[in-house]
Every structure is written in C-alpha cells, then in structure tokens.
Amino acid sequence: MNKNFRIYAIDFIKNSFLTIFLLGLLFSVNSQAQDWPDKFVDSLAGNYLKSNDNNALIIGVNIYGKEKIYYYGGKEKGSSIKPDETSLFEIGQITQAFTSILYAEMTANGFVRADDELQKLLPVNVPSPEFQKIVCNPVTKDVLVPSSPNSYNKFELTDFVCKPDPESPPQPILLCYLSTHTSGLPDRPGNLRGGKTNPYANYTKENLYDFLRSYTIPKRIGFDFLYSNLGVALLGHAMELKAKRSYEDLIVDSICMKLGMPDTKITLSDAGQKNFLNGYTPKGELAPHWTYGIMAPCGALHSNIRDMMNFLSANLGTKQTAIKDILDYTHNPRIIFHDKKYGDASIGLSWFVNPINVEKRNYVWQSGLMGGFASFIGFVETSKTGVVILSNSSIPTEDLGKTLLRRIEESTVN
C-alpha cells in the first residue's frame, strides 16, 4: 500500500472519529440545555402550588429557540383537568408592554413624536397636569387686636404668599414620560372608587378628564421613577385619540396579528369566554374578573400560553417578525433608579431591566397581579433565553420567574 495513502487513510479515520465525537458532544449539550429544567420547574411549581392548590399554573420556557411548556393544577377549583394552551388568563400589567410597543410603532411611523406633549393629543377642554415651581415669599403686616373697649394691641404677623415662579416655566407631561413612569402622576387617579375587588370598574373617560382638570403635579418630572398605572393608561388613550381608533383595535392590528397572537384581546368571543378561567384569591376564594374601561391600556388584556410564547420568542428575536426593531427599541433602558421593590434597575418603555448576576447579563421583564390572576414574562436577549408564567391565583409569580430565569442563565455558563 502506498505510504501516503496509508497516512491519508489514518488521518481520515481520526478526523471522522473526532467529528462523530464533537457531534455527539454538541447533541448532548443541546439535549441537556433543552431538558435540564424539568425537575427544577417541577420543584418551583410544587412550592408555588402549596400556597393554593386550587389554581392553574402554566410555565413556558424558551432556551436557544427551543420551547417547552409545563402544565400544573386544575382549570377549576377541585378539578383534575389541567389547563391547556387555549386556557385564557388575565395578564394584567404585562398589557403595559403592549401599550408602549404601540407607542413606539406610532412614533416610528411618524404619527406622533416621542417627546410630544400629552396636551397636544387631549381634547382642548381637558388640560394635562403639569409641574409648576411655586415660590412662597413672606409678607409681614400689622394686626390690631382689641385689648379693651377703647384700646388695641398691635401685633406683627408674618404670612406667606405663594405664586408660580416666573423664572421657571411650567413643565408639561411628555409621552415618553408616561411610558417610562417618570410623569409624576400617581399610580391611580384620586377619584377612583372601584374598590379592591375590581378597582377600575365603572371608571369612565369623564371621570378621568375630571381628575386631569383638578390635579397638579407636586414634583419636577422626567427624571424620577414613580410607578403609575394611570400614566400608561393615559398613553394608550392618547394613542387611540390620535389614531381615531379604539385602543383594542390598535393593539390587535399593530401587534397581536403581526406576532401570531390571535387570542390576545380585551373583548372575548363566545369561544374565548369558554376558555377564560376563573380567578382565585391566595386563600382559594373565587375572585371577580377585573374590568377596565378607559384604564384598559394599563392592564386589560387576556392571553393564553401559546400566544405569550409567541410574544416571548418575538422579543427574544428567535422568531423573526415585522416589528422586531420596534420590540428591541422598547427594551433599551432610559432611566436608572433604585427602588425598594425593584432594587437597582432601569426602565425601558414599560419594561424593567435588572442585572441577573450571571456574567454581567441583564434580563428584561414585566409582571401582572390582579384580584384573581398573576403573570410574568422575562428574558435575556444576549443568551436567547426566556420564561412565561400564567396563574389564575393572585399569588405573585415574580420570584418564581426570576429564580427560574437565573437558574437557566447559570446553566449556560457551566
């Protein structure tokens, strides 16, 4: 046999074995990356369900574009029938991410400017609240107080006269302030009377306008984070006024239809009503479904796990969509802040951004908590991993979601 041929044959065999070994190793790593969360997810779900074993819990995981969905609990109290991909949940404040995506798309298409004043979009007879620096100056005057029928004692009295500072012009609310929770507006309007069980019920556009006419912002705005459901609701309302279409129609056409989310809506069809789960309090008591009206942009959407997994993959970029650049734009941090609830965080357009303490990675997230439901979505764009959690119990899912996401991230560096 030719010597060169023998050498070539030996090298070919070596390279073949090496190729097979590497392929096997790659398959093993990918298999582990896809399969490893099972026991950990089961453990987290078990601990969560201990608090209330009556609720449905669904956890969706996306790792490198590979998806897996875990179903726990029962559709109804005492039922052994597990929830499925058609089961509808209230997703609460996750709705705010949709509101800001709509705002970002309308900005990109030139319908509004990112720094437009809110007043520009409201009716002319509805003034937008603004911050105005007030200066109070002392004014001293003499006051005569009778000491007897024919005499008076004179006292010097100092009073304060407060007026707008002429050297500090009023500071209006900009649309971007509403999306980043820096508008200075309170969490909820002061004339809200819905109660705890359904706080936004029967709150009308007229109620909202009455509040805006009477409210004055007490602090300088645009820099300090102050969470405000009211602010995001106003943002969505401003978009529908500008487009002359309902908020729900705008969300469905601009986002849901483009991302493959046909069941994500506010108004449910007859089929949707059948799939809409009851909600429960942490004590397992039946909780009323929340209704929103004019406050819809801060929390009114319903969705199921299939739609939310499509939303997750679109935000991760593992699924190419027509609005990928818009989604990325909303993730970018605008304001850095420290808060007792959120820790060291940044705020994008209605998305929170926190360090995950794994190779200096950050995760983007939002969560919802209503009278009978809880939800969470979080993802790490750099490593293409993410989590969705839906529960029909008002036991918060934030810690569960963040713990699972951190564990997945840790596994990618080991």
* Averaged pLDDT in 10-residue chunks for the chain of 414 residues: 45 45 42 65 94 86 95 88 97 98 98 97 96 72 72 72 69 97 97 90 96 94 95 98 98 98 97 96 94 97 98 95 97 94 94 90 97 97 96 96 94 74
DSSP 276: B
pTM of the entire structure?
A: 0.85
Position 249: which residue type? Answer: D
Give the number of other Cβ atoms within 10 Å of residue 11's Cβ.
10
Please provide residue 393's backbone torsions phi and psi, each rounded to the nearest 5 degrees: -135, 145
Residue-level pLDDT at 260: 97
Order of strands across the sheet that contains 57-63: 66-72, 57-63, 385-391, 374-380, 362-369, 352-355, 343-347, 335-339
CA distance 178 to 112: 14
CA distance 221 to 133: 11
Alpha-carbon dihedral sign for residues 268, 248, 179, 215 = negative
Beta bridge partners of 365: 352, 378
Please provide residue 127's backbone torsions phi and psi, each rounded to the nearest 5 degrees: -75, 135
CA distance 115 to 71: 43
Residue-level pLDDT at 72: 96
CA distance 180 to 170: 20
Q: How far is CA 261 from CA 39, 122, 207, 301, in A?
A: 29, 30, 32, 12
CA distance 207 to 190: 10
CA distance 221 to 242: 24
Residue-level pLDDT at 163: 64
**Residue 270, SS3 per DSSP:** helix
Place of tokens 């909303």: 330
Residue-level pLDDT at 409: 92
Residues 6+ apart with CB under 8 A from 28: none
What stretches of 288-323 show up as alpha helix (H) in DSSP? 305-316
Please check whether residue 375 is in contact with residue 324, taking contact to mean a CB–CB distance below 8 angstroms.
no
**Residue 140, SS3 per DSSP:** strand
Residue-level pLDDT at 20: 42
**Residue 107, SS3 per DSSP:** helix
Q: How many residues does the chain have?
A: 414
Residue-level pLDDT at 76: 84
Token pair, residue 292, equals 């929103």
